[in-house]
Amino acid sequence: MKFLDQEKRRQLLNERHSCKMFDSHYEFSSEELEEIAEIARLSPSSYNTQPWRFVMVTNKDVKKQIAAHSYFNEEMIKSASALMVVCPLRPSELLPHSHYMQNLYPESYKGVL
């Protein structure tokens, strides 16, 4: 594994920021949204469980419904051209004998059930 040198790490950390303003006129292609969701899905997680799902929302009415439950972020949600909703898996999906875990680690469950 190749590590970034200290200066490059510092530069990356100093340049990161949260987006507060969005171009509401930009329309993401379905390919762009799929790529963004795939990159997010592959984010590091404990034991590589990836205990999340992502839903991409572009429908204005659905964004308004979500915004109504998002304190202090209503306008940002409504003005964004697309919204990625992060959905955690239910705790029961992470139990050892859940279908999710069996599909994630099929070699570990051979002959168990």
Tokens 């990159």 -> residue: 39
Beta-ladder partners of 13: none
The answer as to whether 3 is a domain residue is no
Tell me, what CATH number does 72's domain have?
3.40.109.10
Q: Which domain holds residue 65?
A: 26-109
- Domain count of the chain? 1
List pLDDT tens digits, range 25-83: 899 999 999 999 998 888 888 777 788 889 999 999 999 999 999 888 898 899 899 99
Q: Are 19 and 80 in contact (CB under 8 A)?
A: no
pTM assigned to the model? 0.65
